[in-house]
Amino acid sequence: MKIKGIFLLVLFCYGCSKNEARRPVNPRPSSTLLSETVATSKALNAQEVAQIQMYIDKDTTQIYEVSKSGFWYVYHNKIQENSPLPAFGDEVLLEYNITDLQGSVLYSQESLGVKKYKIDKEDFISGLQKGIKLMKVGEIVTFVIPSYHAFGIAGDGNKIEVNQTIKSTVTLLNIKKKKDENN
């Protein structure tokens, strides 16, 4: 009995000591995969920008501006006076809606309600985070936001689809300036 136990122990130890990892059947360097993914993403983004540009070209009633951040916007009510713009840490009140490029309402202003947002301190739609900083109180702006500045490759899991461009009309109701921490 002792001999059988020792034999099994030696066999077990010897059998486990020579494990070799199996080689992949079709190895692809990760750098190749990464460059292919980047190329695919760039192609999808270029296609989306072309669709947005076609939409803007068809809308002859509006003059859209292009932001440095990669979204488009048009003022419906522009305030000419020298009013303050929201800055980091300021709290703003705004109303907004979300539609697709065909004008179908995805989220109405009524369903979203009045949004209280701290500039650059809360998670919000990336394109709107940047766009709100261009607005003064009382202005109404429509933003055309590509998916990579909106809900991206995941959508919102509800009404906004994967890689979907959105439009959002925003009314800035109030800016509460951040209090100086030194006072």
pLDDT, tens digit, 9 for 90 and up, residues 109-124: 999 999 999 999 999 9
Q: Which CATH number fits domain 37-176: 3.10.50.40, 3.30.465.10, 3.30.470.10, 3.40.50.300?
A: 3.10.50.40
Q: What sign does the CA torsion over 38, 42, 43, 45 have?
A: positive
Q: Output the average pLDDT for the chain.
A: 88
Structure confidence by residue, pLDDT tens digits, 97-109: 999 999 999 999 9
Mention every residue, 6+ apart, whose C-beta is less than 8 A from residue 120: 88, 89, 129
Radius of gyration of the chain (CA): 27
φ, ψ at 86 (rounded to 5°) = -65, 145
Per-residue confidence band for 182, with pLDDT thresholds at 50, 70 and 90: very low
Q: What is the pLDDT of residues 20-42, one digit of tens each?
A: 777 766 666 666 777 888 888 88
Per-residue burial over 102-115, b = 16 or more CB atoms within 10 Å of its CB, e = otherwise: eeeebbebeeeeeb
pTM of the model: 0.78
Is residue 97 within 8 Å of 129, Cβ to Cβ?
no
